[in-house]
Homo-oligomer: A and B are copies of this chain.
Amino acid sequence: MAREKGSEKRQRILEAALKVFAERGFYNAKVSEVARAAGVADGTIYLYFENKEDLLIQLFEDRMDFIITRLNEELAVCGPGADEQLRRMIAMHLNLAVQQPDLAEFITVELRQSARFVREYENPRFVEYLRILRDIVERGQKEGVVRAGLDSRLIVRAIFGALDEVLLTLTLASRSRSVDVQLAANQLADLFLEGVG
Chain A residues at the B interface, C-beta cutoff of 8 Å: 24-25, 27-28, 105, 108-109, 112-113, 115-117, 137, 140, 145-147, 150-151, 154-155, 157-166, 168-169, 172, 183-184, 187-188, 190-197
Contact = CB atoms under 8 A, between A and B. Distances in A.
Contacts of A191: 150, 154-155, 158, 192, 195
Given A150-B191, A151-B187, A166-B154, A112 B115 contact: no
Contacts of A195: 191-197
Given A116-B105, A161-B164, A162-B162, A155 B196 contact: yes
8 contacts: A150-B187, A158-B165, A158-B188, A158-B191, A159-B162, A191-B192, A192-B195, A193-B196
8 A-B pairs with the lowest CB-CB distances in the bound complex, closest first: A161-B165, A195-B195, A158-B162, A27-B27, A194-B195, A161-B162, A161-B161, A146-B196
